[in-house]
Amino acid sequence: MKLKNTLGIAIGSIVAVTSFGVLAQGQGAVEGELFYKKQYNDSVKHIEDGFNPGARIGYFLTDDLSLDLNYDKTNHTRSNDGTGNQKIKGDTGSLLATYHFGQAGVDSLRPYVSGGFGHQSRTNVLADGHSGRDQSTLAIIGTGVKYYFTDNLFARAGVEADYAMDNGKWDYSALVGLGVNFGGNAGKVAPAPAPVPEPTPEPEAPVAEVVRVELDVKFDFDKSVVKPNSYADIKNLADFMKQNPQTTTVVEGHTDSVGPDAYNQKLSERRANAVKQVLTSQYGVESSRVQSVGYGESRPVADNATEAGRAVNRRVEAQVEAQAQ
């Protein structure tokens, strides 16, 4: 198949492939290219400069670094020693690492540098007394730029220098190419995540109002008998506890400072028990919900130096809290 037909089919295939929209640059991408280069043959005598068609396939190890396998044919080079138009044939294979600069994307320019090794073989070089070589190992460096028409289709222009390790001489080439890449992920803008709707705040529970019922029963001097005028207050406490069955209470007994401490302690306990007895026996509050305790004369609320103050200290206190329904 003629070269012209081969290039036409290849370029048509490149354009067709890019229409699928599945190609991309970046890490994991595979890049294929057809190129044509002007070869300046300085390392071998009696050979004209030529034009070498070739192909390249590369794999991106990262978004910027690719490993490229290259192959080109020496099809249009001739002897120039005056013996006639003897055609020189040959080929070159190489493995290059290529580092790209800039960002991938539509209408982007990506300069690059490359380096690696290759092997070159030429036929007919030794014929008719020519003094050139037929094979050589090459060290190759290059630079250039790629222009991306789309995320997938690009053109390349670059230069390369080949150092022949056999004779220590350099050859040079200038090249242009057209290629595609596929399978990577660079140059694509990730779709913005769908906004997450803010959670609808749950309606705040109404703040429960705390209702408190207090009891303050007074006693005569040295007595622990509940006076009749205190029964109504005790009943209010009992009614409240019945309306709020989850409530409990502590009935606290107190005395004034007259008398020994030990005696007053016992007296305060009897007073607390007397109020508890009225709550449970007379008004029906469960005994398990009422605790009684005596504090003797240790917690005065008034001055024990006066009769009025001592009367205030001879008391039983209780309180109950509940949330309003």
210-323: which CATH topology? 60s Ribosomal Protein L30; Chain: A; (3.30.1330)
Q: Residue 312: what residue type?
A: V
Q: What number is the average pLDDT over the span 272-277?
A: 93
What pairing do the DSSP bridges indicate for beta strands 169-182 and 30-40?
antiparallel
Residues 25, 187 contacting (CB under 8 angstroms) = yes
Confidence of residue 252 (pLDDT cuts 50, 70, 90): very high
Question: Rounded to an integer, what distance in angstroms lies between the CA atom of residue 119 and that of residue 104?
Answer: 31
Residues 97, 116 contacting (CB under 8 angstroms) = yes
Q: Which residue has the higher pLDDT, 22 or 27?
A: 27
Q: Give residue 205's pLDDT.
A: 60
Supply the DSSP string of 36-99, one letter for each residue.
EEEEE--SSTTB--EEEEEEEEEEESSSSEEEEEEEEEEEEEEB-SSS--PEEEEEEEEEEEEE
CATH entry 2.40.160.20 includes domain 3-182: yes
Question: Rounded to an integer, what distance in angstroms lies between the CA atom of residue 217 and that of residue 234?
Answer: 8
Q: What is the mean pLDDT of the chain?
A: 81
What pairing do the DSSP bridges indicate for beta strands 315-323 and 87-100?
unpaired
Tell me if the pTM is above 0.75.
Answer: no
Q: Give residue 11's pLDDT.
A: 43
Domain positions in the chain? 3-182, 210-323
Residues 120, 104 contacting (CB under 8 angstroms) = no
